[in-house]
Amino acid sequence: KKKKLFFFFFFFFASVPTLEGGARGAGDWRPKMATMATVGEKLLAPVDSRHLRPCAGARCPHHRKPPAGEKQPHVPQGSWARGRVLRAIDPALTYSAAFAPSTVANLGPGFDLLGCAVEGRGDTVAAKPFELAGGAKSLEDRVVIESIEGDQGRLTLESKNNCAGIAAIETLRLIESECGALGKGAGVSLQLEKGLPLGSGLGSSAASAAAAAMATNVLFGSPLPKAKLVEAGIVSEAAVSGYHADNIAPAFLGGFVLVKSTKPLILEPLECPSDLWFVVVTPVFEAPTKEMRAVLPKEISMQLHIENTGACGELLLGIVQGNVKDIGHGLSSDTIVEPARAPLIPGFSAVKANAIEAGALGCTISGAGPTAVAVVESKEDGRAVLAAMKEAFTNEGNLEIQYADVVKLCKTGAKTV
């Protein structure tokens, strides 16, 4: 009996078609799974066919070769599409809205590989469905930007050239790739409310992209997990400021995020057991990311590399251990990027000195600047540091202040509102 059962199950499972080779049915044209981005050790899309429900191969209406002259139906690839009937995907709601927080990228020595989200200001995007008469010729046709507030008329309403529009387009692309074809006339209309100033160093473009991607995903019934949306956001970031994830990842996920790799995209959220307070001061001075990246050195000495690596190690260790003093000291010890950018921000050197003297544990440039960010142990300490930093920007940099606050680490990231 045991031998008979063994051979029965052996031949049964050997005959089941898989997505990555094995006994495929005749005429089975299903594509192999591709490795996708990961967050921590969790795969955003599976590469192991054992996670997927087996089908009938050539006998399956979604997987057999179509008759001559007909197109092959779209086959969803993600595990969240498992077992679903293939049908056109249309908006599930009549309205959705999402908010994404400001972010502090680099955190001193962690250039392009470390960032965090902070409470306070951010961007909000509302999404509504609209019907395209005659259907859509491209994904770009499916996204329109109805209005933008808070940008002083500087941002374009053309979706393919706006970071929020690009993020929405890429979200629709992911939905089609992972879950199935969109309805013939399904479109999205966006309304963007800018709460963050442009070129401030607080992740303005990332906040718009994250809010737009989340609002679009929610409008269609949230077919994609939140972490997957980072892929849409990073395409948007690449179009406006370069291919980096140290703003967009924490804008979506919240807290501290380590970018272990961008190709493939591998992110590691870092839990910080301590309550953190940040002093954020933004002067009226624009520092475009592309221009601030252009001043960075192409080569550095081995000594600078060693010192900066040590500072980054101290910062990372401080985060995971909840040691606020190590976080502050590590954040304040950048030897490569801050020295190159600081002279371009009027008064920054005085701002940093004033912050440390007033009790800050560390101070650096937020992202590409001009915002200065300091780490303090409490909100009470933060008030004194805030006043000292504002005074330095005003007296030494001759700059007005457009935003200043003492804020906590934002642990939630983008959210519906």
- Alpha carbon dihedral 120, 123, 129, 134, in 10-degree steps, equals -170
pLDDT of 45: 36
pLDDT of 86: 55
Catalytic (active site) residue 237: yes
Contact 295, 352 (CB under 8 A): no
Binned at pLDDT 50, 70 and 90, residue 54 comes out as very low
How far is Cα 174 from Cα 391, in angstroms, rounded to an integer?
47
Which is more confidently placed, 405 or 8? Answer: 405
Which is more confidently placed, 18 or 13? Answer: 13
How far is Cα 408 from Cα 417, in angstroms, rounded to an integer?
20
Could you give the percent of the chain with pLDDT greater than 70? 79
Buried-state track 284-323, b at ≥16 Cβ within 10 A, e below 16: ebebebeebbeeeeeeeeeeeeebbeebbebbbebbeeeb
Task: State which H helix or E strand residue 117 sits in.
Answer: strand 114-131
Give yes or no for residue 67 having a pLDDT over 70: no
**Residue from 119, 193, 231, 237 carrying the catalytic annotation:** 237
Could you give the percent of the chain with pLDDT greater than 90? 69
Give yes or no for residue 56 having a pLDDT over 60: no
The angle, 0 to 180 degrees and rounded to 10, between the axes of the packed helices 163-179 and 230-240 is 140
Give yes or no for residue 327 having a pLDDT over 60: yes
Catalytic (active site) residue 216: no
Residues in the chain: 417
**Residue from 38, 103, 171, 289 carrying the catalytic annotation:** 289
